[in-house]
Structure 1
């Protein structure tokens, strides 16, 4: 088994995903990234393609990563997300049920299956290896965003926050940590499209160290790290 740690990033876009991949590569990790295009500019990284609307596609990604690097990933970042704006801007409930289903597959079900596969892989790694799952969240699990276009995204983030928190409590004694990472402005307000990729990369690298001071609901501010907001 390889002694070099492996990170698997699902949803490797040009901002958060790329920044996280670059950061962990600089820390000596083997890097695997998954996106719709299946491409990367990071030297030595494994680039895979997946459709996150299809949760059954997730297990094969873990098999491929383990076969390629010789070990299961110890750090998993779920950064994929989806939203469908209402067809009628004046009716928040005008999103077709088929679209809700697809978006929830991306925001909740595929993430949940990813966590299941993460745990299976962690059980094959040495006990001393730190095991970390990070879900890229937002404020929607604790606050309603009165913006119709964010409906399915908010539904998914809120639902996933529940199972992430539950998993962290259930597996913490085994040394497995699950985090719902939520970047905020310094006043605690929703960061929206102003999310900072490098800030996520720095914080996710800290989460992978398991210093014990950060709870599962990992709210953070650029340049400060974990900040608790009430």
Structure 2
């Protein structure tokens, strides 16, 4: 059984996922990373690399079970970093996207993280009362603003839907000191980072959120070098 707290990162990409994994390991966590490329064995970095297909929400429980078996304890920290989108086959026409692709993308962006949160809460109930219990979802500005980029419409649908249940979960589980964060890196002016996301900035901020960060709300917008930064909501038209 691991004497360290366990962290599970779902969607362990080369930028944010890798940076967060390395930061958490250096902060004293036993780290598991889950992706399609997982081998269900230790990686060269010493992480437990779990194989998972997040387009299939039923695979989430299998991954959590594997992590618990490997470390002897469930993860106290869960980071959901997976994301996907389907480009419209007819340029500029979002309604040309096949409904089955919308459903598949929604699985990755919304349903599988919901399933992961269910598994997290089930495991947290077995951990010491004083242990920090945190779920972090890598979001973007699309939960508060319609970004006029048809290419990423299914991503925006998923981010927006996920932010709703994350906010509700953070509210309803607060009495048990469980935290749920929608983490959203922004430029200094509050605009979307897009493909310019900074892995190291996420790693630093996520390490802060991992402690429970009582001074940070569930909608955790942040700026590199500044940490949590509150931005005004877009005006309604």
SS in 1 for 2:173: helix
Q: Equivalent residue for 2:81?
A: 79
Tell whether the 8 Å contact from 1:79 to 1:136 is kept in structure 2 after alignment.
Answer: yes
Structure 2 counterparts to residues 179-190 of structure 1, below 5 A: 179-190=181-192
Q: Equivalent residue for 1:95?
A: 97
Structure 1 stretches of 4+ with a deviation exceeding 6 A read none
CA RMSD after TM alignment: 1.1
Q: Equivalent residue for 1:133?
A: 135
Cα distance in 1 for residues equivalent to 2:190 and 2:160: 17
Residue from 93, 108, 127 that aligns with 1:106: 108
Q: Equivalent residue for 1:12?
A: 12
Tell whether the 8 Å contact from 1:22 to 1:42 is kept in structure 2 after alignment.
Answer: no
Tell whether the 8 Å contact from 2:109 to 2:162 is kept in structure 1 after alignment.
Answer: yes
Range with greater deviation from structure 2 (150-159 or 42-51): 42-51
SS in 2 for 1:33: strand
Tell whether the 8 Å contact from 1:58 to 1:110 is kept in structure 2 after alignment.
Answer: yes
What whole-Å deviation, never above 9, does each CA across 1:46-89 have from its counterpart, x for those lacking one? 00111111000100111110111011100000001010000011
Cα distance in 2 for residues equivalent to 1:64 and 1:90: 42
**Aligned pairs, how many?**
230
Q: Equivalent residue for 1:196?
A: 198
Q: Equivalent residue for 1:50?
A: 52
Structure 2 residue ranges without an equivalent (≥5): 233-237
Cα distance in 2 for residues equivalent to 1:159 and 1:56: 19
Structure 2 counterparts to residues 142-221 of structure 1, below 5 A: 142-221=144-223
TM-score by length of 2: 0.95
TM-score by length of 1: 0.98
Shift of residue 124, structure 1, vs aligned partner = 0.7
Cα distance in 2 for residues equivalent to 1:210 and 1:52: 26
Cα distance in 2 for residues equivalent to 1:219 and 1:193: 16
Shift of residue 211, structure 1, vs aligned partner = 3.1
Q: Equivalent residue for 1:29?
A: 29
Cα distance in 1 for residues equivalent to 2:130 and 2:24: 19
Shift of residue 209, structure 1, vs aligned partner = 1.3
Cα distance in 1 for residues equivalent to 2:198 and 2:27: 20
Structure 1 residue ranges without an equivalent (≥5): none
What whole-Å deviation, never above 9, does each CA across 1:5-26 have from its counterpart, x for those lacking one? 0000000000000000000000
Shift of residue 152, structure 1, vs aligned partner = 0.1
